Structure 1
Amino acid sequence: MTTATQGILDGMPDPEPTDYQTWAAEVRPAFVTVARSRRRHWLTWQIRREYKLPEAPDPAHDWGRLMSQLAADGIVRHDGFGHTLDRSVVNAWRGTRDARKGRVA
């Protein structure tokens, strides 16, 4: 006897990743793309909204963890501060010179 499994229905959103590594691998390319552009002073939540990125498994910590890793990898650097939709202050970012020249990813 075989069991059938139902696939994801058309029109339904894909399930969000449940572990950090899977999620980070999925969202990192969007941040690398933005870092390679000449865009200045962007906020993490703006990129999440523009690229329709999935929410992090642990939103309170994983977004900061991702940005710290991108900074450690030489892809982004701190560029002051900005505001969230609720007017909280958060870090702003920009791509590094190496990212804009395609030397890091």
Structure 2
Amino acid sequence: MTATVQPALDGSIPAPTKTRTQRQAEDYETWLAEVRPRFIDAAATGRVFTCYEIADAHDLPAPPNPQAHWGRLMTLLREEGYVRTAGWACSDRPTAHHSGVRTWKGTAAARRAAA
């Protein structure tokens, strides 16, 4: 069965909508090597951000275990001195239903490292 497209009232055919599929990394180390530089760059700006904002802006893959690995990434970056906690915000992730999520801010050390 093929899907039919409903024309608009003026008779024009709307452009097809693109569905976005998110890649998922095969293993943690490969995923970490791809996403870590993007988060370090975000920290170097000194602005407040959420994990989803950075992942969405750079079309980053999902980790093998999303429930654990996003938090582990941010813990590593905090322990290395790149980020600190900045508070809480409502998530922009479509599947999160505006749940509360941690926000992060780059440290002065992260800004110096980028210079």
Q: Percent identity?
A: 38
**What is the aligned partner in structure 1 of residue 33 from structure 2?**
25
RMSD of Structure 2 on Structure 1 (CA) = 1.6
Pairing 1:75–2:86 present? no
TM-score, normalised to structure 1, is 0.78
Q: Which 4+ runs in 1 deviate beyond 4 A?
A: none
**For 1:102, what is the secondary structure of its paired residue?**
helix
Pairing 1:66–2:73 present? yes
Alpha-carbon distance in 2 for matches of 1:30, 1:79: 18
Give the counterpart of 2:44 among 12, 36, 40: 36
Alpha-carbon distance in 1 for matches of 2:75, 2:84: 9
Alpha-carbon distance in 2 for matches of 1:88, 1:17: 24
Alpha-carbon distance in 2 for matches of 1:49, 1:16: 13
1:16 deviates by: 3.7
1:17 deviates by: 2.2
1:87 deviates by: 1.1
**For 2:52, what is the secondary structure of its paired residue?**
helix
Listed as ranges, the gaps of 5+ residues in structure 1 are 1-12
1:60 deviates by: 0.8
**For 1:101, what is the secondary structure of its paired residue?**
helix
Pairing 1:89–2:103 present? no
Alpha-carbon distance in 2 for matches of 1:41, 1:63: 17
Listed as ranges, the gaps of 5+ residues in structure 2 are 1-20
The Cα offsets for residues 4-45 of structure 1, whole Å up to 9 and x where unpaired, read as xxxxxxxxx9x642111110111000001011113x221000
**What is the aligned partner in structure 2 of residue 57 from structure 1?**
64
Q: How many residues align?
A: 89
**What is the aligned partner in structure 2 of residue 9 from structure 1?**
none
The Cα offsets for residues 85-105 of structure 1, whole Å up to 9 and x where unpaired, read as 3111111001011001117xx
1:79 deviates by: 0.3
